[in-house]
A and B are shown apart, each in its own frame.
Chain A
């Protein structure tokens, strides 16, 4: 079955530091890949997505590239801000008829001023 393995946290960075959160997946077919963000006390929000190999998703300074050869979708940001403190989830979208999402366990990011 499908699975997503995500870098364990928590991750603590200083403001303006470079961020990488690793995500690898196992899937059959050609899934879509997503990064969701969850701010304290809120639901999940879609941060970015990529639907096919070599696609790059980007939003709010965050980027991730769909790498089929390494089955990875690592999240990066060049300069984090305090407001980026949140939990980040990598997810895989089923390419079959069910279209379910499989989530990683989440990575807690704290950015210190």
Chain B
């Protein structure tokens, strides 16, 4: 099993450009999450999808959109990138209730917006 995979690993954008970060999991997990990690701030939840077909805002959703394409895939889109979105982005997945509440993380995407 590959677990949680993310593409790309690194990306540089100019202000105003758009891009989509891809995430896929092969653990048959129900729930998926997008976080951003900034120095000294831990991880902050951007959006999550509790199950296929549903998405909800997290703590810092402004400037982002998400799509739960199917059970395996959950993408994060920046429509018009801003320097404040320079960060490391992590995708995570989580099993059904009763399977344990831990989340499994991908390796991250390091995004720089100039």
Residues of chain A touching chain B, judged by Cβ–Cβ distance below 8 Å, are 6, 32, 34, 36, 42-46, 49, 51, 89, 93-94, 97-101, 103-106
Contact = CB atoms under 8 A, between A and B. Distances in A.
A57 to B, nearest CB: 11
A34 B92 CA distance: 15
A42 B106 CA distance: 8
Interface residues of B, number: 25
- Of the candidates B45, B90, B103, B104, the one having the most CB atoms from chain A within 10 angstroms of its own CB is B103
Contact of A101 (B50, B103, B106, B108): B103
Given A89-B42, A105-B41, A105-B42, A100 B48 contact: yes
13 contacts: A6-B42, A42-B107, A42-B108, A43-B90, A43-B108, A44-B105, A46-B102, A46-B104, A49-B102, A100-B45, A100-B48, A100-B58, A101-B103
Interface in B84-112: 90, 92, 94, 97, 100-108
Interface of B: 4, 31, 33, 40-43, 45, 48, 50, 56, 58, 90, 92, 94, 97, 100-108
A99 B45 CA distance: 12
Contacts of A98: 48, 50, 56
Nearest to A104: B42
